[in-house]
Structures are given as C-alpha cells and as structure tokens.
Amino acid sequence: MATDYYGVLGLAQGATDQDIKRAYRRLARDLHPDVNPDPEAKDRFQEVSRAYEALTDPEKRRIVDLGGDPFDSGAGAGAGFGGAGFGGLGDIMDAFFGGAAARGPRSRTRAGRDALIPVELELDETVFGVTKEITVDTAVLCETCAGAGTAPGTHVATCGTCSGRGEVQSVQRGFLGQVVSSRPCPTCSGTGQVIPEPCPKCAGDGRVRARRSISVKVPAGVEDGMRIRLTGQGEVGPGGGPAGDLYVEVHERPHDVFTRDGVDLHCRVTLPMTSAALGTTLNLKTLDGEEELDIRPGTQSGSVLTLRAHGAPRLRATGRGNLLVHVEVQTPTRLDGEQEKLLRELAALRGEDRPDANREAQGGLFSRVRDVFNGR
C-alpha cells in the first residue's frame, strides 16, 4: 500500500505548491522535536517531512500521483527519513526558521549529496527483475584519515582568527552609534577549527573519489525512467560526513519485437490471407517462452488478440499486464497463373467478382461507425 502523502499533510490530491508548503509549515511548528519532546510527535514529524519531500520534488510527486511510493523501491525499501533533498532536520529548520537552529560554529562535517546513475536494461530484465553490477564513481571516506582530514598523528586545532567561535565581529560607526555585525570566520569558514597538517591523501577534505562496483537489485516491473534508491550509497560529505543516497535510473532498451505500454506489451504478427480466412495456430515467442496462438477462421486485419498475464508485473500490486497481439493480414502479391485462376473462381463463387461500389461504400460507413463506437 502506497502512503497517502497528501493525507499526511491534511490535503487532497491536486493541492498547490503553496498549500503543501503552508500545511507543512503549520505541522512542522507543532511537531518539530525542538519544540515538542513527545516521541510520538517526532515520528509524526518525520512522516510529515517525508510527505513534504515527496510532494515538493516534481519527480517524486509524479510517482505519488500515479499511485506509487517514491521512497519504496526494491533496494531502498524501508529506508528511513533523511533521503534526497534534505541533509537532516537542521536543514529543514534552516529552510523555515531562518537558520535559528544553527548557533555557534558550524560542523566541519556535512552530509553528502545524492548521486544519480543510469542503468541500461533489456526488456526481459525490467519485466522479470534482475540483479545488476554497476560501477559508480563517488566520493568515499578517506581511509588514511578516516574522514578527519588531518595527517596521521596530527589533530585539528582551534582557529586563531575567531578563537573557535566560528564567527568574527566587526564594529562600524554610523549615525545611530556603533553597529556590531558578525559574519562567518573567513579563516575556518565558520567551523572554528583549522587543520594545521592536512591529510596527504585527501588534502583535508576527509573524502576521496573512488570507483567501486555495487550490485543493484532491480525489482520486477520497473519502467523506463524510474529510480531505485540505494540509501547511503551516494557521495560522502565534506569532513567525512554521512553519505547521500544513490539513485539508479532505469533506461529500458527498445525491444525488437515488443513495445511496452505500462504493464502491457504489444507486438505485431503478419498472416497470409488464406490463414486469416481458414484459421490456424501460430507459435509465438513471448518473454515467457513459446506460446500457441489460436487464429480463428475469418480473423480480420487489425484485430487484436490478448494473451492474458504475459505482460509486465504490476510494481506495487499483484498480477501482470497482458500481451496484445496485433494481427495484420497480408494480401498476396505476384500471383502465378494457376493461383490467379483459383482466386478468380473463388471470387466468382462468392459473388465478389464485380464488387458493388455502393455496397462497399456503405460497408465502409458502417465499419467507420463501428470503429467510433469501439473508441478506435
């Protein structure tokens, strides 16, 4: 069951960005752990923050509006709050309360960014699911200094410019007397700390870029453009801060035979005129293997046969879509003498040797009317 993210914020689907922002702001003021010590309020705050994140990120909201859950993917299922977009509660406080939550020197350690990597998949892989090895190139924790940024055997030191306060004050004289203003310390970027001897491997950043291979479990039924979240597999932050998430974006390669429309697959078969008239059995290679397809006598060009449950699985429900087989009847060309004679005899037998233009026209009209009623 997908979470009702609109409901969590007390809104209905179709709410404007303004509504969402307002509803979130109102709830966050009551529920934020800094103002409400109740543990239940904390859980509720995380729920509300998640809903806010889901509805303010256009890609996530699209998934919500389609009845899905942007945080629920095979690999990232059950992942907690703290995903894309927010570095944590502090960031949310900064966004809504003008940074009032941040006091004193800021941490040298900051949360890392999310990373996005595309993965090319074949149709049978998106339909049935697959485990893929992918190579990612992200910032990882520096092993030499374990993220501290200091050379082995050395330590961070208190910044001499700001004495560790992280900000410097300046005094200006004006009409109204002295104005004292403070700004982040330029020497330590507001952290209150300096690294006298940076780690030779990461130059003090606490992280290095590295290429690594990870295995991604792609759930059955994913579609082109969907993203699988791998919690904590993104970029490690400055100062060895906690890693962001890694999003693996599914790119489905076009298939030679099948085209996909959501959970349904479509393909086309061509039939000789005689088989369409007399009926036959075709062997059709589906993604599930070879299937016998019964062509009833008198099958028309353009008719569609349905192989139930031979499409893609529904990602957040049970069952599978269908395989729709579009039949195209081929009119024979390059008839030899005997074939032409036979066809002429057949035409004469059926009274079709001199088609009545008016009747044909009427037939055409009727079939158009029928098409309209069938919504074609």
* Closest CB 226 distance from Zn ion, rounded Å: 36
* Closest CB 253 distance from Zn ion, rounded Å: 40
Specify the residue for token string 């031979």.
Answer: 310
Contacts for 360 with CB less than 8 Å, ≥ 6 apart: none
Q: Closer to Zn ion at the Cβ: 170 or 318?
A: 170
* Using rule CB under 5 A, residue 187 touches Zn ion: yes
The correct pick among 31, 48, 84, 162 for binding Zn ion (CB under 5 A) is 162
* Using rule CB under 5 A, residue 156 touches Zn ion: no
Specify the residue for token string 């066809």.
Answer: 343
* Closest CB 91 distance from Zn ion, rounded Å: 23
The correct pick among 188, 228, 243, 265 for binding Zn ion (CB under 5 A) is 188
Q: Among the candidate windows 152-160, 212-220, 267-275, 310-318, which touches Zn ion by CB under 5 A?
A: 152-160
Q: Closer to Zn ion at the Cβ: 134 or 208?
A: 208
Q: Closer to Zn ion at the Cβ: 92 or 141?
A: 141
Alpha-carbon distance of 350 to 347, in angstroms, equals: 5
Phi then psi dihedrals of residue 274, to 5 deg: -65, -40
* Using rule CB under 5 A, residue 106 touches Zn ion: no
Q: Among the candidate windows 1-9, 195-203, 220-228, 349-357, which touches Zn ion by CB under 5 A?
A: 195-203
* Closest CB 106 distance from Zn ion, rounded Å: 11
Alpha-carbon distance of 41 to 365, in angstroms, equals: 67
HSE at residue 274, side-chain half, CA atoms within 13 A, is: 6
Alpha-carbon distance of 13 to 19, in angstroms, equals: 11
Beta-sheet pairing, 246-252 with 115-121: parallel
Alpha-carbon distance of 282 to 267, in angstroms, equals: 14
Q: How far is CA 90 from CA 14, 98, 157, in A?
A: 29, 11, 25
Number of residues that bind Zn ion (CB under 5 A): 12
* Using rule CB under 5 A, residue 182 touches Zn ion: no
* Using rule CB under 5 A, residue 201 touches Zn ion: yes
The correct pick among 93, 117, 199, 323 for binding Zn ion (CB under 5 A) is 199
* Using rule CB under 5 A, residue 159 touches Zn ion: yes
* Closest CB 114 distance from Zn ion, rounded Å: 23
Alpha-carbon distance of 336 to 257, in angstroms, equals: 32
Q: Closer to Zn ion at the Cβ: 201 or 314?
A: 201
Q: Closer to Zn ion at the Cβ: 136 or 185?
A: 185
* Using rule CB under 5 A, residue 63 touches Zn ion: no
Beta strands in 97-226 (DSSP E): 115-121, 130-141, 157-158, 167-174, 177-184, 193-194, 207-218
- CA-closest candidate to residue 114, choices 249, 251, 217, 3: 249
HSE at residue 240, side-chain half, CA atoms within 13 A, is: 15
Q: Closer to Zn ion at the Cβ: 27 or 243?
A: 243
Residue ranges that bind Zn ion, judged by CB under 5 A: 142, 144-145, 159, 161-162, 185, 187-188, 199, 201-202
